[in-house]
Structure 1
Amino acid sequence: MPEGSLKSNLDLVNECDCFPYIQVSPSAYLSAVSTLYHLRCSTHAQPEVTLGYLLPSVALTLQNIPGWEVSSSDADPRTITLVHGEDEPSRSAIVAATTSAMKATGHFKVLEKWRNELYPVVSPDRTLLFSIERSASPLFGIVSHGVHMTCYTRSKQADGKDDYKIWVARRARSKQTYGGMLDNAVAGGTATGEVFFESIIRESAEEASLSPDLVRTKAKPCGTVSYFYIRDRRAGGETGLMQPEVQFLYDLELDDSVVPKPSDDEVEGFFLWSIEEVQESMRRGEWKPNCAIVMLDWLVRHGILTAENEPKYSEIVSRIHRRLEFPSL
């Protein structure tokens, strides 16, 4: 798409859910998968299950690290397998030692944003297999999980219809990832062992100065979005890394007395925008890609984006609820 041109809603979906679909283009899907390594774990009940995709440039750095086995280059599929560790703590320890060694080399720029947060990697029955440092998760292509919350106000128009306004956050321009782009009012990753609702309560206080009592009382869970993102330069670090994600969504209707305020250096400010202003900023491509997906879901759920006003409605709805090829929570 030419720089500066307006984006359709489907363009926004394509930007975030950009890994090929085998149903749509088998040749593109098989071409992409054939270049990747499959992450596996030999010490659980289903060792043939793929947990994520790694670029060859990542997989081959693991071939001489204890605990890992890399298949030959002509294997089908090519695999990188965690072969040691009979339980979750021992597997997590191997992964922690591996990612720390990778960071120490300074080779992977994505690890410069080391978070000291652990993400879960699970089996198909949602058993925790191991945990991995958050900043290393895209190197291993595993499914990451997070929470996003849309905060909004609602009033009645003269015709009795709801008039919504959305609280929009602008990310700090100094952030290494998607600096200066628009964001949902509250969003963040969910660590190993953390309950999703507790995660949104914590993030609400940290990012938007919303009281835990308010969020605990009024925030409403409203489903998930899922997509398969391939990182570009705006994400920081290496491009082309695989990032499948599931985001657990919440809505919070606020009255005029509650104004979100930044409480850390991650958010530059909050703005209360009309639906038209939000949609126009999305068309201009100002939103962080996955946050635009969350916003599209909100517009669908509130009857603003419909089959009558969006010709690609069914494709958009199905694409923002992608069935991922890897285990997730």
Structure 2
Amino acid sequence: MTKTILDVVKDCDNFTTPDPTPPTFWQQYYTFKVNGCTAVLGYIPQTIIGKIAWTNAWVIDHASRTVILNTPPTATREIRSQELTQTLKATQSLGVISMLQKWRNETFPIYDSHGDVLLEVERCASALFGIVTYGVQLLCYVNDRQNGLGLRLWIGKRSHRKQTYPGMLDCTAAGGLPTGTLPIEAVMCEAQEEASIPYEFAKGNIKSMGPISYFHIRGSKAGGEIGLLQPEVEYTYALELEAGMVPTPSDSEVESFTLYTVEETVEFLKQGLFKPNSAVVIVKFLIEHGIVNCVNDPDYEEILSHLARPLEFPVVIQPST
């Protein structure tokens, strides 16, 4: 069945609370907290609780369905991060959680209510705790005004060998935003590493489309355990390429890049061929260029709401440029 643009964004922002909410709904999750911080930092599915090798640093309260990292309130981020890493390494050795076998030695920050980094978590384990993660996405395009071809988009196709969303369509370049890295720095590195876009050209021409936020439930195509929660902020960028400039895969993660018209790209969106969080970046681009608007799409306001989902955890938005 052909999807609408609203369907496309709802496929990404798909964690919703039923109305009315049955009493059993929240029994599926435990809240993740850290001693000394009152905020809920994430949701852990109940199915994961029994698989993690919790050390003595943790308090698991089954009555309140809460998991607490019980380090002293005065502990440093390094101490908290070390305790979390020890727990994850112990769990990895058991071989019961497949995602932990893809250890990256790259961390995501977990912020407190004041915007300070409370601790860091290994990237491959972030979805286990349902914390807010951050990433960058770049869409390259050409605007052939002289020949009347208008906007065309450089769309990547993911390798069929990738664990996550194999063979699906993608933006031109994308990646996670590790601890201590600015969004603009990350996206320019991804442009160079994934699509062979010269760094200096990207630096001088890239344009921010602003951040988007959504709350996603990971499905079977995401790789690893199913049903994990992924609230996320993505910093989105667009880059108009000069005539003759062609993105080129520089690693094994991207199979190819193809230049598609807007009409072709929209059709692929509606067929569900894009990786979910890349699809919403394409929608963001279409809105920025007035292709999707309040006149031609009756769902326009609801579409916007799914691109700016309020997240119920501490979130830090960095400058995009």
Instruction: Determine if the TM-score, normalized by the shorter chain, exceeds 0.5.
Output: yes
Alignment partners' CA distance in 2, 1:183 and 1:130: 31
Cα deviation, 1:56-95, whole Å, max 9, x if unaligned, reads 12234457412111112x32xx110111151101001111
Cα deviation, 1:249-299, whole Å, max 9, x if unaligned, reads 111111112110000011000011100010011111100001001111110
Name the residue aligned to 1:182.
Answer: 169
> What one-letter code is carried by the residue in structure 1 that aligns with 2:25?
A
Name the residue aligned to 2:256.
Answer: 269
How many angstroms does 1:116 deviate by? 1.6
Alignment partners' CA distance in 2, 1:64 and 1:34: 20
* 1:197 corresponds to which of 173, 184, 192: 184
Q: TM-score normalized by structure 2?
A: 0.94
Name the residue aligned to 2:319.
Answer: none
Q: How many residues align?
A: 314
Gaps of 5+ in 2: 317-321
Alignment partners' CA distance in 1, 2:182 and 2:168: 28
Q: 1:62 to 1:268 in 2, by over 3 A?
A: closer
How many angstroms does 1:26 deviate by? 4.6
How many angstroms does 1:303 deviate by? 0.1
* 2:30 corresponds to which of 15, 28, 37: 37
**Root-mean-square deviation (Å):** 1.7
Does 2:111 match 1:101? no
How many angstroms does 1:157 deviate by? 6.7
* 1:280 corresponds to which of 267, 273, 276: 267
Does 2:21 match 1:27? yes
* 2:11 corresponds to which of 15, 18, 39: 15
Is the 2:6–2:303 Cα contact (8 Å) retained in structure 1? yes
Q: 1:321 to 1:185 in 2, by over 3 A?
A: same
Q: 1:264 to 1:286 in 2, by over 3 A?
A: same
Identity in percent? 38
Is the 1:119–1:132 Cα contact (8 Å) retained in structure 2? yes
How many angstroms does 1:302 deviate by? 0.7
Name the residue aligned to 1:237.
Answer: 224
SS at 2:216 equivalent:
strand
Is the 2:209–2:285 Cα contact (8 Å) retained in structure 1? no
Is the 1:62–1:70 Cα contact (8 Å) retained in structure 2? no
After TM superposition, the structure 1 = structure 2 runs for residues 272-311 of structure 1, keeping only pairs within 5 Å, are: 272-311=259-298
* 2:108 corresponds to which of 119, 136, 139: 119
Q: TM-score normalized by structure 1?
A: 0.91
Does 2:85 match 1:91? no
> What one-letter code is carried by the residue in structure 1 that aligns with 2:127?
P
Does 2:139 match 1:146? no
SS at 1:226 equivalent:
strand
Cα deviation, 1:174-209, whole Å, max 9, x if unaligned, reads 000000000000100010111111101111111000
Alignment partners' CA distance in 2, 1:21 and 1:126: 27
> What one-letter code is carried by the residue in structure 2 that aligns with 1:14?
K
